[in-house]
Structure 1
Amino acid sequence: MFFHFETDFVDSLRCIPMVVRYRLDSCGVKLKLNHWHQFSMTQRQYLIDCPFDSPEDITAYAEKLQAWVTAYTGTPAKTLEIPENPAWFNTEEIPAQVTVEFIAKTGCESFPRLAWAQLTPLQRFALIKLSQPGHENRNFLPALQEFGILAKND
């Protein structure tokens, strides 16, 4: 469930893994790292492994998460607008920030459209997150290699 580029922190779960970030954006909860650090390892693992396939699963996830944050901090986490048509589900249109970061990091002229379409929604989500302005972006190239878009020696 974790990406290889996350291996430096997944054993300790000191950072929020991409699969949880995906779930947070999908259920509209803005979880801060300090919230994550207050959760037990069992709670963190639950947020990674629990069912997240149906609208009911997603609602239950958000409710449990908000209950935990409230229990630790006294107030719920902020909420985010849930996109109606998230970019990570769009196999046809590559977000501009992904293309710009791809060109900057690889020197190639454009992101390969077929490669984008063949990624899973979680992989597309990861590339979108890793290409955000102001993000460190150090895992963008490793993610491209892991997802088979670039060869390891590119």
Structure 2
Amino acid sequence: MTILDIRTQYFQFENDFVNNLRCIPMIVRYKLDSCRIKLQLADWAKLSFEEKEQLADLPCQFPDEIEAYGRYVNALVWKYTGQYPSVLKQIADSWNETQEIPAEVKEKASEFACPQLTTEQWRNLETLQRFALVKLGRSGHEGSNFPIACSEFGLM
């Protein structure tokens, strides 16, 4: 089993919301994907600041941690909504593929006239950085953060 170094961190491109955690930061999104939970922003908004911080800080790497994290998220959402969050049937985890740059990252780089990444640059990024680029490449409303993230990760 590969051991990934996923530590709690917030990226500079998230600075406009990390002081109040009004949006779901990448570290939490990564952990939610790890336990296959789709947390709606409306449900996230109902959580206390302390609960949001806990979701960023709690371990979610090994199978028992992933299971515990998922139970905790489910309990929190149930507490505020009386419903459980959706379960993701499958995760397209192209950020874990280090031999080839995912198509959505290449396309978003072209869209924003960012330099095309080399496979070596992609491979040398931390897992959470690759995750962020894939998510920013897929997402319409956050796409403007893609070039900012590329710059932050030393790719421009």
TM over 0.5: yes
Query: Does structure 1 residue 114 correspond to structure 2 residue 128?
Result: no
Q: Which amino acid aligns with 1:3?
A: F
Q: Over residues 52-100 of structure 1, what are the superposed CA-to-partner deviations in whole Å (9 max), with x where a residue is unaligned?
A: 22110011000110011111111100000243x7211111111111101
Query: Does structure 1 residue 137 correspond to structure 2 residue 143?
Result: yes
Q: Secondary structure at the match of 1:131?
A: helix
Shift of 1:16: 0.5
Aligned equivalent of 2:106? 99
Counterparts of 1:60-71 in structure 2 under 5 Å?
60-71=68-79
**Over 2 Å off, 4+ runs:** 133-136
Q: Which amino acid aligns with 1:19?
A: I
Shift of 1:111: 2.4
> Quick one: distance in 2 between partners of 1:127 and 1:114?
15
Q: Secondary structure at the match of 2:112?
A: helix
Query: Does structure 1 residue 28 correspond to structure 2 residue 36?
Result: yes
Aligned equivalent of 1:81? 89
- Count matched residues: 148
Contact 1:20–1:47 (CA<8 Å) still a contact in 2? Answer: yes
Which residues of structure 2 form unaligned runs of 5+?
A: 1-8
> Quick one: distance in 1 between partners of 2:46 and 2:25?
15
Q: Which amino acid aligns with 1:26?
A: S
Q: Secondary structure at the match of 2:59?
A: coil
Relative to the length of structure 1, the TM-score reads 0.90
Q: Over residues 110-154 of structure 1, what are the superposed CA-to-partner deviations in whole Å (9 max), with x where a residue is unaligned?
A: 32211100011110110001011534401000100110111xxxx
Counterparts of 1:5-16 in structure 2 under 5 Å?
5-16=13-24
Cα RMSD for the two superposed structures: 1.4
Which residues of structure 1 form unaligned runs of 5+?
A: none
Q: Which amino acid aligns with 1:5?
A: F
Relative to the length of structure 2, the TM-score reads 0.89
